[in-house]
Amino acid sequence: MIETWQQPLPHGITLSCRAAGERGRPVLMFLHGFPEAAFVWDELLLHFSQPEHGGYRCVAPNLRGYERSSQPADVAAYRPKQLVQDIAALIAIEGGPLACLVAHDWGGAVAWSLANRQPELTHKLAIVNSPHPGTFLRELQSNPRQQQASAYMNFLIRPDAEALLREDGYRRLFAMFSHGAPATWLTDDLKQRYREVWDASLTGGCNYYRASPLRPPRPEDPGAAGVTLPREMLTVDIPTLVLWAMEDVALPPDLIEGLGEYVSQLTLEKVPGATHWIVHERPAFVAERLAAFL
């Protein structure tokens, strides 16, 4: 059974959360990406909360800006420091260090940052198709393939992005799911769940892109070309699983080259035939690999 609630945080943000499993058990926390929401993890929440699969307390917040979580109007409120603060506060409320922080896409960006800044908050880290900031910056600065693959970011920062995304019943957003392979998993019921999330919170998701300079350079905007990240902001020294779907058209496999330079305890698993939406496509496989890591 999935429980849902609104969790106020000490710094004034509220996160809408989904969870399964008993409080007091070791905690797995799951962070979603764009244009998703916490419900994408429901199958894994139920799986890992069962005694035969570890009996974990499994928690999936909607990140700030999404669903019924707080939606600050200021774009600066979506910078990494603020996003990490939310998750750190939620971890404290759930009883301290996590057994593992599991994250996909933008959730992974938050998780990489938290693992670097406050590694004491989780024993392990599991990343699903979310680029490490060091390799992402490198590829955005120097690799035309990645610059082309990430060109959509410069669309999402437009002031009219939300209006354009809502056209024709969210045609552009649904097309994202089938970019690379047919989205046979995208049922009518699932489409309706996504519509409800987007009806409530599309600006918050776009603000993540507006707040970040990690995007392809343009003549009028240096983007990633104007960014320098010191190495101390990039290292991760806790056991880390990176599960990488190799058919991800937005995040090509070049992004996992050299990852071991930043992650000292890295387990990297490449998944042929899967796309960016592997959590939807192959949830049982994701659960099995995560269980092996745990």
Structure tokens at 293: 């890591």
Residue positions annotated with a catalytic role: 105, 209, 276
Structure tokens at 126: 């599991």
DSSP letter at 145? Answer: H
Strand partners, 14: 8
d(CA 237, CA 117): 11
When pLDDT is averaged across residues 151-172 and rounded to a whole number, the result is 97
CB atoms within 10 A of CB 255: 24
d(CA 231, CA 142): 18
* Closest among 238, 235, 247 to 271, alpha carbons compared: 247
Helix (H) or strand (E) run with residue 168 in it: helix 161-177
The predicted-structure confidence for 225-275, as pLDDT tens digits, reads as follows 999 999 999 999 999 999 999 999 999 999 999 999 999 999 999 999 999
Cα 247 to Cα 36, 277, 278: the distances in Å are: 19, 10, 10
Q: Does the pLDDT value for residue 180 go beyond 80?
A: no
The predicted-structure confidence for 18-32, as pLDDT tens digits, reads as follows 999 999 999 999 999
d(CA 103, CA 133): 14
Instruction: Quote the longest CA-to-CA distance of the chain.
Output: 55
Q: Does the pLDDT value for residue 143 go beyond 90?
A: yes
- Do residues 253 and 273 lie in contact, with contact meaning Cβ atoms separated by under 8 Å? no
Structure tokens at 237: 């020294």
CB neighbours of 91 closer than 8 A, spacing ≥ 6?
A: 27, 29, 97, 98, 121, 122
Residue 179 is predicted with a pLDDT of 80
d(CA 149, CA 151): 6
Q: Does the pLDDT value for residue 129 go beyond 90?
A: yes
d(CA 153, CA 216): 8
The predicted-structure confidence for 273-282, as pLDDT tens digits, reads as follows 999 999 999 9
- Do residues 16 and 4 lie in contact, with contact meaning Cβ atoms separated by under 8 Å? yes
DSSP letter at 234? Answer: T
* Closest among 217, 80, 85, 74 to 154, alpha carbons compared: 217
List alpha helices for 57-187, DSSP H.
80-93, 106-117, 133-142, 144-149, 152-156, 161-177
CA 14 to chain centre: 18
d(CA 87, CA 38): 13
* Residue that has been written with the tokens 């592997």 in this structure: 278
CATH number of 3-293: 3.40.50.1820
What's this model's pTM, rounded to 2 decimal places?
0.98
